[in-house]
Amino acid sequence: MSTGLRYKSKLATPEDKQDIDKQYVGFATLPNQVHRKSVKKGFDFTLMVAGESGLGKSTLVHSLFLTDLYKDRKLLSAEERINQTVEILKHTVDIEEKGVKLKLTIVDTPGFGDAVNNSECWKPITDYVDQQFEQYFRDESGLNRKNIQDNRVHCCLYFISPFGHGLRPVDVGFMKALHEKVNIVPLIAKADCLVPSEIRKLKDRIREEIDKFGIHVYQFPECDSDEDEDFKQQDRELKWRIRRTATL
């Protein structure tokens, strides 16, 4: 005896099949159950942006998520930026698109790279990342694991100045300190102020230095052979755009 419901007609509409799927009890509906539960609960994503002041970090965040997270930001003078110490600021916003909810947390690092002496200026940032790992581990080890908030940094956009000849010591130190903790995506900031030949030359130079110093940056994973052709095409287009644009 079958424990599931069968379609009575081959001409059933997609809506009818969807209603029947909701009534089906078998394990074949497990992916749909996990999907519905995840969509209902929503997702958490924490994005860190790092780099010296004036490279367009807040502008990129506005463009990506169409929201202003820096309404109350005070612009500092050059002298104030030099004397400022590295801070960790969090901005949280709830975004919903086509019924899918996303709790987005932007971790900003004002003061990074602005001092005269930038030796180990990334220490407060690495301490913050480690604290989030420890907090998540404690929450997972506790008794109440239903309402765990994932505040771990999932991705870091690191902005590289377009006016140099490659990576600076502070760039190398930051990425080497975090590349085993966070997915790092290096960006050439304000790349539109360079001509295409200058961008390609700078990108090649930075890639060589990343390999030279043994820095691991985020790479798109290879598609599985069983993925559908549309997904493979999207993957190829993304990788092609990375090679052609200012993202390394």
Encode pLDDT of 204-231 as tens digits.
Answer: 899 999 999 999 998 877 777 667 788 7
pLDDT single digits (tens) 73-103: 666 666 666 566 678 888 888 888 887 888 8
Q: Which two tokens stand for residue 227?
A: 């993925």
Range of the domain at 183: 45-216
Tell how strand 100-108 and strand 43-50 pair up: parallel
User: Do 105 and 33 have their domain in common?
Assistant: no
Amino acid at 154: H
Contact 89, 50 (CB under 8 A): no
CATH number at 205 reads 3.40.50.300
The 10s digit of each residue's pLDDT in 118-145 is 888 899 999 999 999 999 898 888 777 7
Q: Are residues 87 and 123 in the same domain?
A: yes
Residue 191's pLDDT band, with cuts at 50, 70 and 90, is confident
Q: Structure pTM?
A: 0.76
- Cα 188 to Cα 43: distance, rounded to the nearest angstrom: 29
Q: Is the dihedral of CA 39, 59, 49, 205 positive or negative?
A: positive
Q: What is the mean pLDDT of the chain?
A: 79
pLDDT at position 4: 44
Total count of domains within the chain: 3
